[in-house]
Amino acid sequence: MPQSLLRSALLLIVALIVTAFAPTLQAQEKLSLDPAHSEVHFTLGDVLHTVHGTFHVQQGDIDFDPASGKATGTIVVDALSGQSGNATRDRRMTKDQLKAPTFKTITFAPAHFTGNFSATGDSSLKVHGVFTLLGTPHEIDVPMQVQVSGDQLHATGSFSVPYVQWGLKDPSTLMLRVNKEVQIDLSLTGTLNH
């Protein structure tokens, strides 16, 4: 085979490989959360009333591939930031239930998602990942509603945490019976970098 023909064939093969992988390379997205506009809400019911509260997101950076559904990164929540409108209850929650002086953060590390991510408008996704509480990892699935406008992304999602089963102290007393699961509602806002 003449040298020029071999060179042309190799260039054609390289061009085909680059073309085949170009969409994958360009499809990678990076989401940087805005802690000032991101919160974790919780709801815990008992026989007398329902407690609502929030935790602050410290930081969150997620890389994901819309084509494959793969994701990496971590969302970090400040375990010391829990507020429910009652200072005594919040101190007990922080110290006794969450052991926040020792376990200062609660994290979620996404691994992959299913559903079609839309670069503009709305998407419904299910995100699978590892939720770490009291230093112990738990695999969970979180249904998410995602809205993208320009480079801004807003996502909401909900899931339940069986906190007693996962090792947190049951705050129930003889007179007060508290649900054994807490409802978590996410409100996350950030910037997409292509």
Each residue's pLDDT tens digit, 110-151: 999 999 999 999 999 999 999 999 999 999 999 999 999 999
Domain 28-193 sits in CATH 2.40.128.110: yes
What pLDDT does 191 receive? 97
Q: What's the pLDDT band for 167 if we cut at 50, 70, 90? A: confident
What pLDDT does 180 receive? 87
Residues with Cβ within 8 Å of residue 4, at least 6 apart in sequence: none
Q: What is the pLDDT of residues 154-163, one digit of tens each?
A: 999 999 999 9
The answer to whether 92 and 171 have CB atoms below 8 angstroms apart is: yes
Whether the full predicted model's pTM is greater than 0.95, yes or no, is no
Cβ density class 56-69: b for 16+ within 10 Å, e for less: bbbebebebbbeeb
Q: Where do the H-state alpha helices sit in 28-139?
A: 87-92
**Quick one: which of 66, 133, 143, 137 has its CA closest to 105?**
133
CA distance 143 to 160: 11
Q: What's the pLDDT band for 3 if we cut at 50, 70, 90? A: low
Q: What's the pLDDT band for 49 if we cut at 50, 70, 90? A: confident
What pLDDT does 27 receive? 63
What pLDDT does 31 receive? 97
Structure tokens at 44: 């815990």
Strand stretches in the chain, DSSP E: 29-33, 39-45, 50-64, 71-78, 105-114, 121-133, 136-149, 152-161, 182-193
12 has pLDDT over 70 = no
- Answer with the residue of higher pLDDT: 133 or 11: 133
Q: What is the pLDDT of residues 89-114, one digit of tens each?
A: 899 999 998 999 999 999 999 999 99
Q: Which of 24-33, 64-73, 127-136, 180-189 has the weakest average pLDDT?
A: 24-33
